[in-house]
A and B are shown apart, each in its own frame.
Chain A
Amino acid sequence: MRNTITRFYLSVLFIFGVITIGYSQTEPALSWTQYRGQNRAGASAEKLTEKDWVNSKPEMLWKKNIGSGFSELIISEGVIYTMFSEKIDSLSGFEYLAAFDEKTGNEIWRAQVDSIYIEIDGWGDGPRSTPTIDAEYIYSFSGLGKFSARTKKDGKLIWEHDFVKEYGSTRPRWGYACSPILIENKVIMEIGGTDGKTFMAFDKSNGNIVWNNGVGPAGYNSPLMMSVEGQNQFIFVNGKDISSYNLQGDTLWTYQLPFAIPIAMPVLIGSNKLFFSQITSGFVIIQVESNKATEVLRGGEMKNDFMTCVYHDGYIYGYHIAALRCISAETGEVKWSKRGFGKGSLILVDGKLIILSDKGKLAIAKASPDAYQELGTVQSIEGSITWTAPSFTDGKVYVRNQTEMACIKLN
């Protein structure tokens, strides 16, 4: 009944043009305001002027030191927001949310958000999640499970939830990693709590619970928004289970993956297909019709570890273990493989791949199934464990790893 009412309500909104661009979040022009950018596609709609980047290297505008963390750099209205950590000694330290001047990389403010999450094997301490911003607030999630809203202006705390203490969540082995997503007046998260609190929506203005649903512990994935047949829905990955919820938190459909705990985000193909990939098993593509998910393709040609693919014109580009690959989204056929980027990352800008190696080498290549066609490279940041994907806005690429962040001009 609730579904029916919701569908009716949404239909009315649709007819009257309130929702004019499907599920797209409204983002200011020239911005990258959340994990993987607009619609979490790992892509920018901006134009990227093709240049001779081979003979004329992309220009490094600035480079700064930054503490350990995996949060992407999000950019809006001349300010960069991200998270990082600083150790006091080998066993303690703090995680911070901070704002930086986009033109210089200089720190504007920082807010201490939690104690530091220390990765015992040494593969990078600190936050894993990427903050999300709206007009007024910034929503961040620490590696130890504190979720908060703060003002963009100065980082002042508005509200906060501790997922462990309040909802009985158990921290995953590699730390909490979910990146919040905003829709209407809600901010949505995977909590991994008990009593149906695996996924929750909070009122973004005051942190009050709007709805909760699902069963399962916290993993490493983040929710995706999509719209199928006019139905806006969140896609959550938890263990082997895929769940789709409408904006009111009602279950629309579920699906069980042939593998468990994918870390890479689902990738939207067209309007109603979703690509999931996992490191040991490969990938599966499902199609959603009439609130039912059906497998349409499965293969071992793309095994994503923690880095998510991008989709462009019928092809999927991403990291098969540690080889950059292009595969057909129709057949799974491998069109080309290119090693040399390790377990790097990539985004898509104007039909070009912006590739960042796990050792900080930035490359620009055509997103074409014909062959890997490199247009230029530059060593952007030094140091290892560069596992954070680039961000792109206003013709500039923003990158970070465990020790450095930098801004490189492409346009």
Chain B
Amino acid sequence: MAMAANAQNVDDIISKHIQAHGGAEKWNAIKTMEINGRFTAFSEENEWYAIKTSSGAYYSDLQIGQYKVKEAFNGTSGWTIDPWHEFTFPRLLNKVEDNVFHQKAEFFSPFYKYKEKEMKVEYVDEENIDGVDTYVLKLIKSNGLIETWYLNKTTYLEVKSISDWVDFGMRVSAESYFDDFREVDGLIIPFFTERMFGQRDRILIIENIKLNASVDESIFEMPKSNEMQKLAFLAGNWNVKVEIPGRNNTWRVADQTTSNAQFIATNNLQQNISVSEYYVQSMIINYSFYKDRNKYRLTIYNGFSSSTDLYEGAFIDGVFTADNTSVKYIDAESNAALLQLSIYNITSDAFMMEIKSSDDKGVTWKPSYKLSYSKK
């Protein structure tokens, strides 16, 4: 009997909570929310921009100290570029962070459409929070995680929540406080949220909300790092003329072939090419960027020798050059042939690639192949 009363109480409280926010009908018409506001971290206030969608996607662009932080979530997975955490390149969110971004993506509280989201709610008790009498509700999410919500007994608006949050990729408990509720086109939205987790104190202040603004969905896609964007010209299908050194510093055509290159991961571009000169030299080249050395790293698989070698390089004055002279093996001298790959004369539909070899540990280089790429 008590359980039934509580269940009835929960439905009634949540119904009034949704109504207090403007009602489900109005919220059902909202597809996107574009927010401009202020974000405080480490006692310093800076600009904050965010997008939320009805599909549970979230994007935000904010400033922590002197670092610009971007983060996005498509409703299932997400990424962040967070130089404050020393991630100057995009990285995927972990599962703890996914849970946080589900919370960030909520239009207001998780009780809106909570049954559709396979959440359960239990009535806990009543409690006074900072002078406000509240109903305490336990929210059990579909993944089993639990949040505690404190709804104002008079207004039914949220006062506080306790939920899992994240700091340095690790799960921490957060207390969130909601205030300054304002009406925007009939919807009631908290313009002030303060969140304390671990030793952090974060404040979000909304200054302006634009409802149902058009959103470019690509903003939620994980971007390539700045360094890999420089190699994006390689992607595509190419006709390739293969030349080898002839007499008197001339080149002679050895083969006409094709090549395909595409991103196989956000920051990994793979190029396939097969060259026939006496024997077939099929190669798979993977391009990536290694931040710790601030260098590009390439693995080149040679089908003829069935071996993979590691190259390291950089863009200098518009010419990309990488070689395998940097790789040292601790137990033996490397027997790998020393090769250098350079890419130059880069335009939107063509580029040149040259492969050189060295007999003196990279002091001097002799031309081996010249490949002229033109877009198919």
Which residues of A are at the interface with B, using a C-beta cutoff of 8 A?
Answer: 121-123, 279-280, 303, 305, 321-323, 337-339, 342-343, 358-359, 384-387
The answer to whether B65 touches A338, judged by C-beta atoms less than 8 angstroms apart, is no
With A121-B65, A122-B66, A323-B196 known as contacts, the answer to whether A343 contacts B201 (CB < 8 A) is yes
Residues of B within 8 A of A122 (CB): 65-67
Whether B168 sits at the interface, judged by CB under 8 Å, is: no
B 168-196 contacts with A by CB, 8 A: 177, 194, 196
What are 27 inter-chain pairs, A to B, with CB distance below 8 A? Answer: A121-B65, A121-B66, A121-B84, A122-B65, A122-B66, A122-B67, A123-B65, A279-B199, A280-B198, A305-B199, A321-B199, A321-B201, A323-B196, A339-B130, A339-B177, A342-B40, A342-B43, A342-B203, A343-B43, A358-B43, A359-B43, A384-B40, A384-B45, A385-B42, A385-B43, A385-B44, A386-B43
Let me know if A384 and B177 touch, CB within 8 A: no
With a cutoff of 8 Å between Cβ atoms, the chain B residues found around residue A385 in the complex are: 42-44
CB distance from A128 to the nearest CB of B (A): 15
With both chains docked as a complex, state the minimum distance between the C-beta of A229 and any C-beta of chain B, in angstroms. Answer: 36
The answer to whether A280 and B45 touch (CB under 8 A), given A121-B65, A123-B65, A337-B130, is: no
Given A122-B65, A305-B199, A339-B177, also A359-B194 (CB < 8 A): no
Residue of A nearest to B201 (CB): A322
B interface with A by C-beta (< 8 Å): 40, 42-45, 65-67, 84, 130, 177, 194, 196, 198-201, 203
**Sample of 8 more A-B contacts, CB < 8 Å, known A337-B130, A359-B43:** A122-B67, A123-B42, A280-B198, A321-B196, A321-B200, A339-B194, A343-B43, A385-B42
Residues in A with CB closer than 8 Å to B43 are: 342-343, 358-359, 384-387
Q: Which residues of chain B are within 8 angstroms of A358 by Cβ–Cβ distance?
A: 43
Across the interface, which residues of B come within 8 angstroms of A322, CB to CB? Answer: 194, 196, 201
What residues on A are CB-neighbors of B130 within 8 Å? 337-339
Find chain A residues with CB under 8 A from B199 CB.
279-280, 303, 305, 321
Partner of B45, one of A321, A323, A359: A359
Residues of A within 8 A of B84 (CB): 121
**Chain B residues with CB under 8 A of A387:** 43
| Chain A residues touching B, majority SS | loop
Least CB distance from B117 to A in Å reads: 29
Which residues of chain B come closer than 8 Å to A343, judged between CB atoms? Answer: 43, 201
Q: Which chain A positions have C-beta within 8 A of B200?
A: 321
List, in ascending order, chain A residues with CB within 8 A of B203's CB.
342
B201 touches A342 (CB 8 A): yes
Partner of B44, one of A303, A305, A337, A384: A384
The complex places the Cα of A260 from the Cα of B201 at a distance, in Å, of 21
Chain A residues positioned under 8 Å from B196 (CB to CB) = 321-323
- Within 8 Å CB of A323, what residues of B? 196
From A305, A384, A387, name the one whose CB has the most chain B CB atoms within 10 angstroms. A384
CB distance from A389 to the nearest CB of B (A): 14
Instruction: Give chain A residues whose Cβ lies under 8 Å from the Cβ of B198.
Output: 280
Give the residues in chain B near A121, CB-CB below 8 Å: 65-67, 84
Question: Would you give the shortest CB distance from B115 to chain A, in whole angstroms?
Answer: 32
A337 cross-chain contacts in B, Cβ below 8 A:
130
Contacting residues, chain B, for A386 (C-beta < 8 A): 43
Q: Return the chain B residue nearest A386 by Cβ.
A: B43
- Smallest CB gap from B46: residue in A: A384
In this complex, the member of A322, A337, A384 whose beta carbon has the largest number of chain B beta carbons within 10 angstroms is A322
Shortest 9 CB-CB distances between A and B: which pairs? A322-B201, A358-B43, A122-B65, A122-B66, A384-B44, A279-B199, A321-B196, A385-B43, A121-B65
CA A102 to CA B65, docked complex, whole Å: 33
Report the separation of the CA atoms of residues A358 and B42 in the bound assembly, to the nearest whole angstrom: 9
Residue of A nearest to B200 (CB): A321
Residue among B43, B130, B199 with max Cβ neighbours from chain A (10 Å): B43
Please name all residues of chain A whose beta carbon is closer than 8 Å to the beta carbon of B42 when the two chains form the complex. 123, 385
Inter-chain contacts of A339 with B (CB < 8 A): 130, 177, 194
A338 to B199, CA, bound (A): 17
Assembly CA distance A387 to B201 (angstroms): 14
Q: Nearest Cβ distance between residue A319 and chain B, in whole angstroms?
A: 9
**Nearest residue, chain B, Cβ from A338:** B130
Q: Which residue of A lies closest to B84 (CB)?
A: A121
Question: In angstroms, how far is the closest chain B Cβ from the Cβ of A355?
Answer: 14
Q: Please, how many angstroms separate the alpha-carbon atoms of A279 and B200 in the complex?
A: 9
* B180: min CB distance to chain A, Å: 11
Q: How far is the CA of A100 from the CA of B40 in the complex (A)?
A: 32
Instruction: Kindly provide the distance from the CB of B150 to the nearest chain A CB, expressed in whole angstroms.
Output: 13
Contacts of B45 in A (CB 8 A): 359, 384
With a cutoff of 8 Å between Cβ atoms, the chain B residues found around residue A342 in the complex are: 40, 43, 201, 203
Give the shortest distance, in Å, between B85 (CB) and chain A (any CB). Answer: 11
Chain A residues contacting B194 (CB-CB under 8 Å) are: 322, 339
A321 to nearest B CB, angstroms?
5
Which residues in A have their C-beta under 8 angstroms from that of B201? 321-322, 342-343
- Cα A120 to Cα B45 with chains together (Å): 18
Distance (whole angstroms) from the CB of A328 to the closest CB of chain B? 18
Report the separation of the CA atoms of residues A339 and B84 in the bound assembly, to the nearest whole angstrom. 26
Kindly state the separation between the CA atoms of A323 and B196 in the bound complex, as whole angstroms. 9
Residue of A nearest to B66 (CB): A122
For B40, give the chain A residue with the smallest CB separation: A342
What's the Cα separation between A323 and B175 when bound, in Å? 11
Question: A339–B130 Cα gap in the complex (Å)?
Answer: 9
Docked CA distance A122–B67 (Å)? 9
Kindly state the separation between the CA atoms of A203 and B60 in the bound complex, as whole angstroms.
Answer: 56
Contacts of B44 in A (CB 8 A): 123, 384-385
Taken together as a complex, chains A and B put the C-alpha atoms of A342 and B198 apart, in Å, by 14
Bound form: Cα–Cα A279–B167 in Å: 14
When C-beta atoms are compared, the residue in chain A nearest to B130 turns out to be A337
Distance of A305 Cα from B201 Cα, bound (Å):
11
Chain B residues whose CB sits within 8 angstroms of the CB of A321 once the complex forms: 196, 199-201
A117 to chain B, nearest CB (A): 16
Give the CA-CA distance A338 to B84 in the complex, in Å: 29
- Return B41 CB to nearest CB of chain A, in Å: 10
Smallest CB gap from A123: residue in B: B42
Closest to A303 in B: B199
Q: B63: shortest Cβ distance to chain A, in Å?
A: 10
A280–B44 alpha-carbon span in the complex (Å): 21
What's the least CB distance linking B273 to chain A, in Å? Answer: 44
**Which residues of B have CB within 8 Å of A338?**
130
User: Nearest Cβ distance between residue A338 and chain B, in whole angstroms?
Assistant: 7
